[in-house]
Every structure is written in C-alpha cells, then in structure tokens.
Amino acid sequence: AGAFRIQEAAALDCVYGYACGLEMTRRDLQQQAKDMGRPWDTGKAFDESAIIAEIVTVADCGHLGDGAITLDVNGERRQTGDLSELIWDVPEVIANLSEFYHLRAGDLIYTGTPAGVGPVGPGDTLAGRIEGLGEIALTIGEPA
C-alpha cells in the first residue's frame, strides 16, 4: 500500500528489512555541477552509485537501534560509528520522507555514514559492515 504523510509512531510498520549499503559520490561530477550552479544529481546518481547487500528482514533482525558501523578501505579502517549515533532515527527519516514522497514497497532509504568520508579510486577495495546485518565488499572499477 505504501506510506504518505505517515506519523513516526507508525513508520516502523513500513520497514521490510535492513541492509548494509554503500552510497557513493563522484566528487568530480558534483564539483562540475556546483561550479555551474546546477543540482548535484549527476554526482550522486550514476551507475552503481548505491550498492546494497542482501536485505535482512525485520522478522530476522528486528529493528536495530545500536550496533557498530565500519568501513575499511584497502584493509584500513576509515570510518567507525554506531547506529545509535544517527542524527535522525529510522522512524524520523521515514516520516520526513513521506511528507514529500509516496513511499512504496521496494524503495530503499540510505541513512548516512559515519565521519571519515574520503576519496577512493579504481582498484580500491571497500568492506562495509553493520553489526547484526553483515557486510558488503567490492572493488572500485574504472568510471564509465
């Protein structure tokens, strides 16, 4: 059925599951758009810019309120955080988005990342983990 203008108290009822994901930014394309006073969408929405691991259903993992979040780049820890440190919790995020969008089954919502973002390039290996959900690992390829 979906959700539109849903209240925070009912937001978690809309969640099918959770997963570890990597949401990437092409800073070169983002900067070009900024320089021209244009929206940054080309720097955020490119092929393979939002990679996601297998979704773990709420029935299997519950609603996670805490748990370590990490990202390793080429075997070195680059980011460390905890789900409890989210600026807005999941119900707040869903309620806010539903003010502007009709949320439907299959929609994916990425909630952000701990401090420590930085550049990666072709050949770099990334391993992201969320405690209780698992891991996603990949190697950066050449840009299209």
Each residue's pLDDT tens digit, 4-48 = 999 999 999 999 999 999 988 888 888 999 999 998 888 888 888
Kindly state the average pLDDT of the residues 91-97: 96
The rounded distance, in Å, linking the Cα atoms of 98 and 32 is 31
pLDDT given for residue 62 in this prediction: 95
| pLDDT at 115 exceeding the cut of 80 | yes
The rounded distance, in Å, linking the Cα atoms of 115 and 126 is 16
pTM above 0.75, yes or no: yes
The rounded distance, in Å, linking the Cα atoms of 102 and 125 is 36
pLDDT given for residue 1 in this prediction: 65
Question: Which residue type sits at 104?
Answer: R
pLDDT given for residue 141 in this prediction: 87
Share of the chain above pLDDT 90, in %: 73
